[in-house]
Amino acid sequence: MEKKNVLIVYAHQEPKSFNGALRDVAVSALEEDGHDVYVSDLYAMKFDPVASKNMFIDLKDPKYFNFQKELSHAAETGQLADDLDMEMKKMLQADLIILQFPMYWLGLPAILKGWIEKCFAERVVFDTTKMKWFDNGPFVNKKLVMSFTTGGSASYFSNTGVFGDMDVLLWPIHNSLRLTGLQVLTPQIFYAPGEIASDDRKRMLDSWRERLRDIWKEDPLPFIHIDNFDPHLGFKLSEKYVEEQKMINLDQQLVRIWGKISII
């Protein structure tokens, strides 16, 4: 296989944690296959997740602070702080990005959320003014997978579970990451590793290792293509697309009805 660049963004305070073991398995599996792997250990780096004026050398508009505009300006003019500049370069070079973290409060840890907010600069990883976003974004040839642990078992995150459907919880995160064009893959979820036997945790690690061997062949999660959203309607689904979906649903219903009639 052609050598690839992989960036693992690791967000856990304890190196000996199960998240740490997942990171180590990913590094070894990918390096064994000949890929170059880079790890951003956010806690070890003491990465500051706070978006503030202090992260900029010179402000484009010192009278009114607009974080996203200042971030884009700094990235375009080469005025990013050294640590942030390095993170963006690693991300731009990566063919695969792995976000490794424990789920906190049904979402990303603050330090990882801050990393995304600081590194995903407009006009660098997406550009709304030129419609270079989503399926037309700069990262269309890059893959991303979220690998994370939960405190609760899988039943907690079901349609009838106390926290609700996991797919629903992850949708806004996946869709926002897709803004850059990233091919977002099915997440690797490890439910309640602290509540199971060591043999079961080993099986989890083995399954992660095996998946990484063929992750390059995986198709991304399905999303509605950006071209089906009408900018004249405030980027709502176009009337043409809605009508097409109605016809598809009608055809599917007719097939089901015909199937039942055939059986009778």
Instruction: List pLDDT tens digits, range 13-59.
Output: 999 999 999 999 999 999 999 999 999 999 999 999 998 888 888 88
The mean pLDDT value for 176-195 works out to: 95
Neighbouring-strand partners of residue 39: 8
The mean pLDDT value for 201-223 works out to: 96
CA-based nearest residue to 6, from 17, 29, 21: 29
Coil, strand or helix: which one is 36?
Answer: strand
CA-based nearest residue to 6, from 150, 210, 213: 213
Residue 231 has pLDDT above 60, yes or no: yes
pLDDT of residue 80: 84
Task: Residue 207: count other Cβ atoms within 10 Å of its Cβ.
Answer: 13
Domains of the chain plus CATH, in order, are 5-223 (3.40.50.360), 226-264 (no CATH)
pLDDT of residue 123: 81
Report percent pLDDT > 70 for the chain: 95
- The span from the CA of 73 to the CA of 78, in Å, is 8
Residue 262 has pLDDT above 60, yes or no: no
pLDDT of residue 248: 85
**Which has the minimum average pLDDT: 11-25, 54-68, 106-120?**
54-68
pLDDT of residue 261: 58
pLDDT of residue 258: 59
pLDDT of residue 83: 86
Instruction: List pLDDT tens digits, range 79-102.
Output: 888 888 899 999 999 999 999 999
- The span from the CA of 109 to the CA of 123, in Å, is 26
Residue 75 or 103, more confident:
103
Task: Residue 196: count other Cβ atoms within 10 Å of its Cβ.
Answer: 14
Q: Annotate 76-125 with DSSP letters as a single string.
A: HHT-B-HHHHHHHHHHHH-SEEEEEEE-BTTB--HHHHHHHHHH--BTTT
The mean pLDDT value for 210-236 works out to: 94
